[in-house]
Chain A
């Protein structure tokens, strides 16, 4: 970003902060604040000015107006002396923060393959899952869950009730582990017994090669096919494991059902078999299950899954269901963000200096319809001429913009500022030729 572009962006950010209604967090005077300015270091070097505090709302708003920062943050924590150095701040508590970002969901190589819009879609899916955990498992009220678009590739959730503020780092870690299924022990969710599961009884089969009796489709001794013979193993009403009705047990019930409905029944035979084989099943077993789903009794079977009454499922099946149900992004192993009780988080309604998008609060009821590339766009439509530095494309407000390196383009202000902040374009030199 050259100095001229920087000045242009800065003027635009100033305009925004002059007109915007900034959402001021409750107890803002107890938070530590941090900012990155559009100064001569930016964006090569991000210099964080932290350990700031504000005594009045007016002071804070004026500060934003005067400095029009590229990035604005406040601490998750509240402190006795928010402006003191870390050791003497006097920690009083911290909001519970979740930071869902595309980087944590897909690997670095994969990241290149997805478009920005796709990534936003992926993170949204994880965010919906997280909100469901927070409401149904943790019992938070919808009005206590502040959902915010991060201004870049993710969403933040802030919870500020008195109970969460006292939680320590370890306790927060437990909450993250819960939503990410870390340390989930199948033995803990497969509980109790039911005496009604007659399908615990297995038919006996005989190997076509070595005559061994087994319950398997394939002979465990020699690997040949087996055929059905008279007789059954196990007795009627044998104990069968039951999935717990709360917590992860409940999620796995639902997950198993959803998996069968969408990935097996809802797909072609080949796809269904492929899915099951991917879960460590033999071809024969996978075929058998796919055929089973077409039988009349399948509705009943699905009902049983919902009740948590199960036959035997091998571990890879559970691994797959857990993978589908857990929140993938809430944290990465070496960046325990939620558990970090001293971290900084972006100020909702501020601007994100790497995208020019607003860090936008979203209502949970309207989350479904929320489109950051429409709803978090704050700049206008008047045409701005830019010189592209490299190839890039973005769809904003329903319109796709594509620029190629060295190309001069005239695009609406919001797209122009987006490209500038991304480092894709500079403002066109007025008098330069071409």
Chain B
């Protein structure tokens, strides 16, 4: 069932209800463009206050829950509010200009859209799921085919170029091309897998151009909406830095002292903290390192929570594997040579010259630090 509603103040542009669930699609932005709502209206018109509040709400939800809830649509006005709230949210995100917020917001929007797609695809509430797949592929310029093997469910196939392009950030080994059915240049996928790839495409689309170059007078005009978001963001940051690293615990201070970590490990940690997608080899290195210096599995999982593709269950499994649960070997963090091979050797300093392993670096630096502290103490006593 596709519900067409008419917009009453624009020149009767029909817009299917479900478009408002995917406000980053070109049909949605075309609609906004043609609806006659100007940037001026969007930021100041009293009629559009609901859209602005919803726009702010999108961001708050993204920070808080990592999701942007899809409302139940009851009226045409609501469709419009939903559609207009998206460009407003983009302006807000741009005015704040925080990189972490950009990623978090884009990921939350994409994730929620993916969940909506999955739901629609299983209930068939917006036409057949084949239609959804066709629409989405067309939107993102992916050539897809459908095929059915005897006694199997229908599958989707797409050219491997597109597949590689959109799976660049999916680190799980099941997404590796080597583990996919590839024949004559086409990659075979289950429907839900295809939709997961669409999530990646949506994420890229949403993140693209953010932060926008918004003139300062516009940012000034909407300052009233920014305060709450900044506060929420600050809180999230604080919570994150308190809970995540677990290095604060006074008694064990010297056992896990992040100030003595080698530059390569600190770099990966700061990337994870910023929500940058970190390559698999680096994740392995940092996980093994932190386990080796005595962090618990839970503490490490916390660190990954900011990752764009965070999946608690998977992370728990992988961290557990490196920790040597379930009888697997307990891994030692990779040596400097291995770090170098995988391009994870970053910010070499003079201590690096003396060691060949990140753990040796840590031990050495701890020792130097203790020595210095003792010296300082005895100097104090003397004086």
Contact = CB atoms under 8 A, between A and B. Distances in A.
A22 interface: no
A333 B178 CA distance: 17
A333 B183 contact: no
Interface in B175-205: 176-186, 188
Nearest to A138: B185
Contact of A171 (B149, B165, B184): B165
B342 to A, nearest CB: 9
Contact of A178 (B177, B184, B185, B186): B177
Contacts of B161: 163-164, 166-167, 171
B181 A246 contact: yes
B228 to A, nearest CB: 38
Given A174-B177, A178-B178, A184-B178, A137 B183 contact: yes
A185 B179 contact: yes
B151 to A, nearest CB: 9
Contacts of A139: 160, 183-186
A189 B177 CA distance: 12
A241 to B, nearest CB: 15
B168 A168 contact: yes
A334 B341 contact: yes
A175 B182 contact: no
Interface string B25-57: 000000000000000000000000000000000
Interface string A148-179: 00000000000000011011101100110110
A143 to B, nearest CB: 15
Interface residues of B, number: 23
A248 interface: yes
Nearest to B157: A246
A188 B164 contact: no
Contacts of A244: 181
A219 B201 CA distance: 55
A178 B185 CA distance: 12
Contacts of B168: 168, 170-171
B148 interface: no
Contacts of B380: none
Contacts of A137: 182-185
Nearest to B161: A163
A136 interface: yes
Interface residues of A, number: 33
A311 interface: no
B348 interface: no
A182 interface: yes
A183 interface: yes
B174 interface: yes
Contacts of A174: 164, 176-178
A91 interface: no
Contacts of B173: 183, 185, 188
A167 B164 contact: yes
A182 B182 CA distance: 15
A266 interface: no
Contacts of B183: 136-137, 139, 246-247, 250
A185 B182 contact: no
A412 interface: no
A247 B181 CA distance: 4
Interface of A: 136-140, 163-164, 166-168, 170-171, 174-175, 177-178, 181-185, 188-189, 192, 244-250, 333-334
8 contacts: A139-B185, A170-B168, A174-B177, A177-B177, A177-B178, A178-B182, A192-B152, A248-B179
Would you list the 8 A-B pairs with minimal beta carbon distance, nearest first?
A139-B185, A246-B181, A188-B179, A139-B184, A171-B164, A246-B183, A247-B182, A247-B181
